[in-house]
A and B are shown apart, each in its own frame.
Chain A
Amino acid sequence: MSLPMLLMTIPAFVGVLLYNLRRWIWIQVTLVCGTMLLLFMLVQQAPVDQLVVLAGRDMYFRSSWEILGRAFVLVPSDRSLLTFIFISVFLFAVSGAVVSVTTLFYPVVLSLVSIIMAIMFVHPFIYAALFIQIAAVACVFMIADNVYSRVTGALRYLSFASIGVPFILMAGWQLEMYQVRPDDNLLLLQASWMLGVGVLILLAVVPFHSWIPIVARSSPPIVAAFVIAVIQAVMFFFLIDMLVQFDWLRNNMQFFLALRISGMLMIVTGGVFVFAQRNFGGLMGYSALIDWGCTLVALGLRLPNSVEIAAMIICTRVIALIVWGIGAGTIFNNNNSTWDVRLHIRRNPFATVSMIVGGLSLAAMPLTAGFPSRWALLQMLAGIYPNYAIVLLVAGLCAWMGYIRVIAETVDLTGIIDGDMYRTTSESRGTIGLSVFVVLSLIIFGLVPQWLYPKAASMFEHIAMILV
């Protein structure tokens, strides 16, 4: 039996089943979580390319699956990345159960897990570009529906993905040509350009970033958080995979310079626009843009430690966005207008705290999970590129100021401090308990980052070892 085939088909089949069960949310959540646990066990425990006895039967899990002349191969370094994906999907599925999501969220999430694995496993890599396009199409089905019917974000996302994918396909062809004509360095140069441009478009580098704040404003918060945290992380994993696979790309200093510049562009743009936001969705979108910029800058530094910091940023972003999503989803439940945002906030004080703390963690406020990795990056940049460090610091301050401004406009702080709001809350005990739990988790990870760091760093240890 082929392990990649098993991993890819299980979520696809369960996804089809879920589509028929979409009225029953808790059954969907249970099935998604069960599937993620099963996949997690398979990835962690299944012995690859070895004969084992399972329930009295001989089992042999192959690491590759050949279909129509193409191979889907599971390499050891994929295990930690898949673990990240499965845990993230598990957490988002649980979070989605307590807040409002689009009708197709759960079936699409499971189909996306299959597609994500196809992106990671497929050889040659040009086919990954085709799967990326299919993933983008699938994402649109969960970004918008009849309730969340502002489609601009979904359209922009689809458009930018569609513009980025052809570049990667062209890069693949040029690399094939280079194997035929190894003396022609122009092909390699063109392939680097094409690959760089394609991946940067997919990673929402400025000016291809506009879908992020729009989706953050107009989609269900948990769905927006999922796309920004997990789907974009998969694009980043694709970039890491390219760097591991091609030593000419890894040794191309200009490529890393482009990553640093792109990251700084995202940080500057995020810093400029985050201050002008008037709602929490926009704040989250531009804070996430700054955070993604930090990830690119960390990778662009081309140091083993900086790559581990990038991994830590990605992990803490997922936690922060889940906390934000639970809070924002509870407050704006089935309500995509913000005309009565103050009323909703007054009725949901615990969810408000959750949304604010999650957002501030994304903006790397001290004592939250987002801060340690940002601080580590800042220290690293201060030693190598002090100008970058100053820009990053200013952008971070702008994000904090933006939050303070919106909080001052929309939240009745005296009510929260006096305790009036907590006594008159309309939140259920479950929501209160969950909000308290996620906020405490975020603060604990901020205070004790060493609990998370080794696990996050293991995601990219394969590239950290070869980046010397």
Chain B
Amino acid sequence: MNSASQIIEVLLPLGSGYVAVVAVSIMAPILVVVDDRRLVIVALAVLYLFVSLLFTNVLAPQIAGIKLIVYMVVWIIIFICVQQKGWRYGEYSNEIGGLIVSAKIRFRVFAVIVAGLVGWQLIETGKLPFPIVAESVTFGATQLVCQGLMLLAITRQPLKVGIGILIMFSGFGLLYSAVEPALMVVGMLGLIDIAVALVICYLELVWETNTNKEVST
């Protein structure tokens, strides 16, 4: 934990403010739009790194270090799951070929924009029932919540649904930690993140069995 908080302290000047918010605001839409698992895994790692940095605005660096450790564990679980299952979706892939963008991607881009606007408006209208610590942090948090909910709504793949839940929880955690910074709550939320990651990997592997059966028959 000591080393995690040291990592946080080293990275803190680099981007706990607007840099982190921009990074989060780019990575969350990538997770919603893209199905390529290599890109998803990289985007999730970057997102979690900058979310951990954002946590330093609402929590002490030592406790933000706990968050970093939790996110590292979650990321490792998801990485191992993807490695077990394979890096490609096969029939579900919707790669961009040349300049032709599939209807699915276009729809997702539109959905991401709508979710982003909703998140932005939540701050602008001041309708959030939370105290605003820093506008940039709250903006990042609402973006995470809205994009996470959008991901939950538009995908059927267990891994992506799970990532949607995890993104939503990380955004909610940013907002909630400002009002409830107790170590017990942070720990419980971290435990829930890990539990969700585990169950999603379980479903992903079970789901793989199902798709394999369909292919073999």
Binding site for B on A (CB under 8 A): 68-70, 126-127, 130, 133-134, 137, 140-141, 144-146, 149-152, 154-155, 158-159, 162-163, 166, 169-170, 173-174, 190, 194
Q: Is B172 an interface residue (CB 8 A)?
A: yes
Contact, CB under 8 Å: A137 / B196: yes
Query: Could you tell me the distance between the alpha carbons of A299 and B199 in the complex, rounded to whole angstroms?
Result: 34
Contact, CB under 8 Å: B206 / A173: no
Q: How many residues of B are counted as interface, with CB atoms below 8 angstroms from the partner's CB atoms?
A: 32
Q: A127-B188, A173-B180 are in contact. List 18 more A-B contacts (CB 8 A).
A: A68-B184, A69-B184, A126-B185, A130-B189, A133-B192, A137-B192, A137-B196, A137-B198, A149-B207, A155-B161, A155-B203, A158-B165, A159-B164, A162-B165, A163-B152, A166-B168, A169-B180, A194-B129
Query: Could you tell me the distance between the alpha carbons of A145 and B206 in the complex, rounded to whole angstroms?
Result: 6
Which A-chain residue is minimally distant from B205 (CB atoms)? Answer: A146
Contact, CB under 8 Å: B199 / A174: no
Residues of B within 8 A of A162 (CB): 152, 165, 168-169, 196
Determine which residue in A149, A150, A170 has the highest number of CB atoms from chain B within 10 A of its CB, and name it.
A149
Q: Is B202 an interface residue (CB 8 A)?
A: yes
CB distance from A207 to the nearest CB of B (A): 12
| B150-166 interface with A by 8 A CB criterion | 152, 156, 158, 161, 164-165
| B175-205 interface with A by 8 A CB criterion | 176, 179-180, 184-185, 188-189, 191-192, 195-196, 198-199, 202-203
Contact, CB under 8 Å: A169 / B207: no
Q: Which of A159, A166, A173 is the one whose CB lies under 8 Å from B152?
A: A159
Q: Which of A126, A130, A151, A194 is the one whose CB lies under 8 Å from B203?
A: A151
Q: Is B149 an interface residue (CB 8 A)?
A: yes
Residues of A within 8 A of B176 (CB): 166, 169-170, 173
Q: Which of A127, A130, A150, A166 is the one whose CB lies under 8 Å from B210?
A: A150
Residues of A within 8 A of B158 (CB): 151, 155
Residues of A within 8 A of B188 (CB): 127, 130
Contact, CB under 8 Å: A130 / B192: yes
Query: Could you tell me the distance between the alpha carbons of A162 and B200 in the complex, rounded to whole angstroms?
Result: 13
Contact, CB under 8 Å: B165 / A159: yes
Q: Is B83 an interface residue (CB 8 A)?
A: no
Q: Is B121 an interface residue (CB 8 A)?
A: no
Q: Which of A70, A152, A158, A170 is the one whose CB lies under 8 Å from B129?
A: A170
Query: Could you tell me the distance between the alpha carbons of A151 and B198 in the complex, rounded to whole angstroms?
Result: 15
Residues of B within 8 A of A170 (CB): 129-130, 176
Question: What are 11 A-B pairs with beta-carbon distances under 8 A?
Answer: A68-B184, A126-B180, A127-B184, A130-B185, A133-B192, A150-B210, A159-B165, A162-B196, A163-B149, A163-B152, A169-B180
Which B-chain residue is minimally distant from A173 (CB atoms)? Answer: B179
Q: Is B209 an interface residue (CB 8 A)?
A: yes
Query: Could you tell me the distance between the alpha carbons of A121 and B203 in the complex, rounded to whole angstroms?
Result: 30
Which A-chain residue is minimally distant from B204 (CB atoms)? Answer: A151
Contact, CB under 8 Å: A144 / B203: yes
Residues of A within 8 A of B130 (CB): 170
Residues of A within 8 A of B196 (CB): 137, 158, 162
